[in-house]
Structure 1
Amino acid sequence: MSADVPILRSPHFIKPDHRRTVIRTFMPGDSPNALEQGQTRAERIVGRILGLSEDELADEYARLLSVLCGRHRDVEKVFLQRYENARELLRGGFSASGARAKLIGAYFSEEYAYQSAALFNPSIVRHPDQSGCPPGALRFILSLRAIGEGHLSSIAFRTGTWQPGRDIVLDAASPLAATPLIEYPQNDDGAVRLHCEDSHNLSETVLFPILERQRGGIEDLRLTSLELEDGSTLFAGTYTAVGGRGIAQELLTTRNFIDFKMHRLEGPIAASKGMALFPRLIEGRYAMLGRHDNENIWLLLSENLHHWDGGIRIVNPQWTWEFTQLGNCGSPIETADGWLVFTHGVGAMREYCIGACLLDRSDPSHVIARTRRPLLRPSPEERYGYVPNVVYSCGALLSGNDILLPYGVADSFTAFSTLTVDALLAAMD
């Protein structure tokens, strides 16, 4: 019988902060019971603003700026963008300039606390810029699932430094946040491009659901550093897009964490959850793990990064803590002994635990070994939150023989743990 793995929980946490807000578009809806017919509610709002005297306009706009300018960067630029959006939506039925145009833009905007409810389910990759790191340390990027009002999920980021044998150091989060400039598909690849030049550091970047097929949120990004055939590196990760008609897997890619692309995945396996890319091609094909039957771990292979068919089941529930469901956490990690895969298992009372398995490097359909007991169960302090009895991760980071495993707690906040490859492999059957 396998032994318990020595795993060290860090004293550091990342918890949601309701003070972190972004300005997003607000469009007031119309009621069938409205007394005034012939105009939309939005048109009536614009009419009231156009009717303000210059003194009334100056007073209200000054008050608004005094409230917002310390909480958002370039707020007047945002107001002008919202003004142009409003003109487009209302088909150019009005015109204004200066403070009046900006005030109109403000009436079609709202502050949104994008992480007011939760900040969890992290994935992690090496930062592309390792300059200035102490010897033996490495910088990392965390992606996080942020939940705000209406249970709407978006993607947020944090950065930090980890030196094995010592604790992690998290970079301070900026008090500001920014949404990207959106470029909708204009060519054959069908990708939505997101430009985040307004973010002064990565903690300010927030990627929101922007398409109809994402209206319920974008969840659980599983990032990896993908080595392409030409030797270049692409940061890529699948996430779940929650739409009005169900869920689907999509792909987020970037080379610099400033410019991103959102790609829709195609094929019969795309309408599922939990897919995670291998960090390199296997025998000339892209490889992915998934759980499209919501019960087992599957290996998928494809010559096209954006199209996925079929697959073979490679790991099924075997132990009591995974009887209900078994799935991969994040992307597989390549070691000298094989592909190390952290798994999540769901047992009695819908308790989520984290385990692991080892796949053959040349033939990942072959399972070499797996943990009989969980590496992580919710501790007494981790059992309470938005969804109780859950520990869950979307990725881990390897440095030599050491592993940094960040994980979500009770669908509420993010914690960190460390362990070694040797101890983990020794505990597998």
Structure 2
Amino acid sequence: MMRRNTENPLVFPRDVKPSNPSYQVLGTFNPGAVKYKNEIILLMRVAENCLAQDDYVTIPYFNNGKADLIRLKKDNPDLLIKDTRGYFYKGKDYLSTISHLRIARSNDGVHFTVDEQPFIYPDLPCECFGVEDARIVKLDDTYYINYTAVSGDGYVTMLAKTTDFVHLKKIGIIFPPLNKDVAFFPEKINNKYAAIHRPDNKGFGLPSIWYATSPDMVSWGEHYCLLRPDGSPSESQKIGGGSSPIKTDKGWLVLYHAKGENSVYSLKLLLLALDEPQKILKKANVPVFVPETDYEKKGFFPNVVFTNGMIEKENGELWIYYGACDETICLAITSVSDLLKLLN
């Protein structure tokens, strides 16, 4: 039901200019996606770290909006290298890379030109470990962007807005720690804004998908646990929302990610009631998209397909932009009607 674009991957780390002369780009992935005028815009996560140094680990972070680093010997007894994504040093977690959000633009949705400068850059205390994984929704004439901000206090969900993808206003934190994977519904439901989100319920259960409403996009309440991991091999660790739900005559179609056995990330489907999105109508019990190609199975963090950006085309196709292995940006093409068939 989903076919990979033959030119995948579409964007590589080598296609992106580092934001700092002392940094190197390791990953360009997990883009939010939107149609703007005659272009498709990807607001992609760019992960960087410091240039390699023999026998040393360099941990990047932002200090008052400026790039900084911690430099440690690899054999430092206070340093624990957890995996390719992070370190633990003197009782604190750090990331091995630091991310910002940058725009890539395309007329055909396949061949992209990457802006030279970041669009959303970490300049707040809650962003000092970077900003990640943007989602975009258009409401009236405004494009609302939510993204994950990371710091020593954990991760939060930030809200920003733009009307032209040149000027940006950061509004602030809308979901406090630990919460991410927020996706706004593209219209009000029962006169309220609505979203799915993913609190990290440490201590009990597994990270699950929740539903919430808001009168103003800032203050969120009426929280309801919508879906918990089902314990299957594909959902043994956690689940989280993807891009904005798609309105169909059958219900709200949700494409979400699941992390399962051996840390494999796959994509799965959910259908919610139109007027009561807290009500699940149908759920696909098996993944609809899994890592299969080399670029999805071998990379910075292997066996990952992850989407937070989709485009509905005029011809009925659904273009799903996804990150592969936390390293590159790829495209899978299907249609809403085909995805609904998988829920029959």
Q: When the two structures are superposed, what TM-score results if normalisation uses the length of structure 1?
A: 0.64
1:384 maps to 2:298: yes
Quote how far apart the aligned CAs of 1:233 are. Answer: 2.3
Give distance in 1, aligned partners of 2:146 and 2:30.
13
Task: Evaluate the alpha carbon distance shift between residue 264 and residue 336 of structure 1 in structure 2; reply closer, same or farther with a 3 A threshold.
Answer: same
Is 1:10 aligned to residue 5 of structure 2? yes
Per the alignment, residue 251 of structure 2 pairs with 338
Q: 2:134 is matched with which residue?
A: 221
Matches within 5 A, 1:105-116: 111-113=21-23, 116=25
SS at the partner of 2:343?
A: coil
Letter in 1 for 2:102: A
What percentage of aligned pairs have identical amino acids?
A: 25
Matching residue's letter, 1:341: V
Structure 1 residue 419: deviation in Å?
0.5
Match of 1:104 in 2: none
* C-alpha distance in 1 between matches for 2:240 and 2:129: 22
Give the Cα–Cα distance (whole angstroms) in 2 for the partners of residues 286 and 392 of structure 1. 25
Matching residue of 1:280: 187
**2: distance between equivalents of 1:289 and 1:321?**
20
Which residue of 104, 120, 137 corresponds with 2:29? 120
Among 154, 157, 160, the residue aligned to 2:106: 160
SS class of match (2:308): coil
| In structure 1, C-alpha distance between the alignment counterparts of 2:29 and 2:16, rounded to whole Å | 17
Sort the Cα spacing of 1:380 and 1:170 in 2 relative to 1 into closer, same or farther, 3 A.
Answer: closer
Counterpart among 222, 225, 240 of residue 148 in structure 2? 240
State the 1:122 CA deviation. 1.4
Which of 299, 307, 319 is residue 404 of structure 1 equivalent to?
319
Question: Partner residue of 1:299?
Answer: 211
Q: Give the TM-score normalised by structure 2.
A: 0.78
Runs of 4+ in 1 over 3 A off after TM superposition: 171-174
Contact 1:248 1:271 in 2 (8 A): yes
Ranges in structure 1 where 5+ consecutive residues have no aligned partner: 1-5, 24-110, 131-138, 163-167, 179-204, 227-231
* Cα distance in structure 1, aligned partners of 2:174 and 2:113: 38
Count of matched residue pairs: 288
> What CA distance in whole angstroms lies between the structure 1 residues aligned with 2:169 and 2:22?
23
Following superposition, the deviation at residue 248 of structure 1 comes to 1.1
Contact map agreement 1:270 1:308 (CA 8 A) in 2:
no
Question: Are the equivalent residues in 2 in contact too, given 1:384–1:410 (CA < 8 A)?
Answer: yes
Are residue 170 (structure 1) and residue 84 (structure 2) matched?
A: no
- Select which of 21, 29, 37 maps to 2:18: 21
Displacement of 1:113: 4.3
Q: Is the 8 A contact 1:290 1:327 kept in 2?
A: yes
Cα deviation for residue 310 of structure 1 reads 4.8
Native 8 Å contact 1:237 1:276 kept in 2: no
Provide the C-alpha distance between the structure 2 equivalents of 1:385 and 1:336, rounded to a whole number of angstroms: 39
Q: 1:351 offset after TM fit, Å?
A: 0.6
Distance 1:424 1:311 in 2: 28
Q: Give SS of 1:394's match.
A: strand
The answer as to whether partners of 1:234 and 1:254 remain within 8 angstroms in 2 is yes
Cα RMSD after superposing both structures: 1.9
Alignment of 1:15-414 (within 5 A): 15-17=12-14, 20-22=17-19, 111-113=21-23, 116-127=25-36, 129-130=37-38, 139-149=39-49, 150=60, 151-162=97-108, 168-173=109-114, 177-178=116-117, 205-226=118-139, 232-266=140-174, 271-292=178-199, 293=201, 295-318=207-230, 319-381=232-294, 382-400=296-314, 401-414=316-329
Q: Any gaps of 5 or more consecutive residues in structure 2?
A: 50-59, 61-96
Give the partner amino acid of 2:31.
P
Q: Is the 8 A contact 2:16 2:114 kept in 1?
A: no
Cα drift, residue 341 of structure 1: 0.9
CA contact (8 A) 2:180 2:197 kept: yes
> Residues of 2 paired with 1:251 and 1:405: CA distance?
23
Instruction: Name the CA distance, whole Å, in 1 between partners of 2:167 and 2:275.
Output: 34
**Conserved in 2, the CA contact under 8 Å of 1:390 and 1:411?**
yes
Once the two structures are TM-superposed, the CA of residue 323 in structure 1 deviates from its matched residue by 2.4
**C-alpha spacing 1:289/1:270, structure 2 compared with 1 (3 Å):** farther
